[in-house]
Amino acid sequence: MIRKYFGTDGIRGRVNGETMTADTALRLGTAAGRYFRRGEHRHRVVIGKDTRLSGYMIEPALVAGFTSMGMDVFLFGPIPTPAVAFLTRSLRADIGVMISASHNAFEDNGIKLFGPDGFKLSDNIEYEIEQLMDAPTSELVPSAELGRAKRIDDSQSRYIEFAKRTFPRELTLDGIKLVVDCANGAAYKVAPTALWELGAEVVSIGVQPDGFNINQDCGSTNTQTLADKVRAEKADIGIALDGDADRLIICDENGNMVDGDQLMGVIAGDWHRRELLTAPGIVATIMSNLGLERYLQDSGLSLARTQVGDRYVVEHMRQHGFNLGGEQSGHMVMSDFGTTGDGLVAALQVLAVMKQTERPVSDLCRVFEPVPQILENVRFNAGVPLENEDVIAAIRAGEQKLGNSGRLVIRKSGTEPLIRVMGEGDDAVLVQNVVAEIVGTIQSVAA
């Protein structure tokens, strides 16, 4: 199944480039509206967005498509992706839409779709919607049946209250000083508010979006500003979200970063001790560190791996009864609370363990020693580098060198024109050499 528009996480691309245009958004709204029209009830769509300038272009195009199919549209404005998933179910909507390119720079944007159950759509449904996008439109409603659009003022407060309810009732954040970096993105209002209302002393950065500065030298993919602020403020913990706040990276009191693998280990260990895991393990992707897998095995837990993308993590969790999963990049899915990755809720779970154990983050969030891991990205302009014979031979040679002491993951990015080369193993020098050889081969082919 080859999809034309959808990638790993919805439709994404450079704004006004080949894919991410107002026309694409219009056709997507029309096609998704057509697909999800079921029954005679008044259909409802909810739309959230991050703070990118292009949201002002994409949002009205989507509204035009949905209303042309007789669907009413509720507009939330800037709000995290997990809030859209939550409100899709809470407001009994037929479709949820998030306009965001997540951690990408402002020049990019994307569109993520959620079904009425609040879960991201399957590959098969996305493929069917793609077929409708390119098909002649023959089911537009009569003019008297057009949908209406309106702004919803209480969407942020609804989500704040939801997030706060995931924090243990018997605890508060009194005595905790934290820095939260909202990446100048979708959570710039809700995250500091929720944390402050739970009792924390909150220092906020990345909360002055201007349409251009989302993820710019801030957020979960640019953590130096957060580390510096944590040290300067002598804070207990730093919390970094990405542009749409569905992922989390933590900074300890010394300014050292803690990735999603360590955070999954913290939450898994806590839930295991409290008998809250619904299955004897967690779900992560092929990118998660081998050290996490070994830590879980020593605790009597398993690590199920999926392809990259929190959507695939969620699918495996639903199929096999897991209630905890995530990605090394910071997506963490806790199905007891929500249907998709939620950076704020994940942060609250870590803060809860921190309060219960009274341990500093530097101790609490170092649950395993990571196996040396190297990730390199190789940009390409055209062609299919991974099908080149020289590249295939280089990958096979690397796998033989690593043997049973390590592993390779080489894949095309689902959101950018990149080949991602990841290698890990107990011998750091060997891993570095293997990755360098593969990267060099790909670069020579992709030049």
Predicted confidence at residue 158, as pLDDT, reads 97
Beginning with the edge strand found earlier in the chain, give each strand of the sheet holding 248-251 in spatial order.
201-205, 177-181, 237-241, 248-251, 257-258
Question: Cα–Cα distances in Å, from 168 out to 195, 330, 334?
Answer: 13, 22, 15
Mean local confidence (pLDDT), 105-120: 96
The predicted model gives 115-142 an average pLDDT of 91
- Predicted pLDDT of residue 103: 92
Average pLDDT over residues 234-248: 97
Stated pTM of the model: 0.90
- What does the block give as tokens for 23? 């026309």
Residue 4 reports pLDDT greater than 90: no
Q: Does domain 158-255 have CATH number 3.40.120.10?
A: yes
Which part of the chain is CATH 3.40.120.10?
A: 6-153, 158-255, 258-342
pLDDT at 3: 78
At 338-388, the pLDDT tens digits run 999 999 999 999 999 999 999 999 999 999 999 999 999 999 887 788 899
214: exposed, middle or buried (C-beta count within 10 Å: 0-12, 13-18, 19+)? buried
Positions of CATH 3.30.310.50 in the chain: 373-446
% pLDDT > 70, the chain? 99
What is the structure's pLDDT at 163? 98
Query: What percent of the chain clears pLDDT 90, i.e. is strictly above it?
Result: 88
Q: With 70 as the cut, is the pLDDT of residue 320 above it?
A: yes
Average pLDDT, the chain: 95
Task: Render 354-366 in DSSP notation, one character per residue.
Answer: HHHHT--HHHHT-
Which residue in the list 54, 100, 102, 155 is annotated as catalytic? 102
User: Which CATH code, of 3.50.50.60, 3.40.1050.10, 3.90.550.10, 3.40.120.10, is assigned to 258-342?
Assistant: 3.40.120.10
Check residue 1 and give its pLDDT. Answer: 60
Distance of CA 437 to the CA centre of its chain: 30
Is 102 noted as a catalytic residue in this protein? yes
Architecture category of domain 6-153 in CATH: 3-Layer(aba) Sandwich (3.40)
Q: Per CATH, the architecture of 373-446 is what?
A: 2-Layer Sandwich (3.30)
Rounded to an integer, the average pLDDT of 152-157 is 96
d(CA 430, CA 428): 5
In the predicted structure, residue 272 carries a pLDDT above the cut 90:
yes
Asked if pLDDT for residue 131 goes beyond 80, the answer is yes
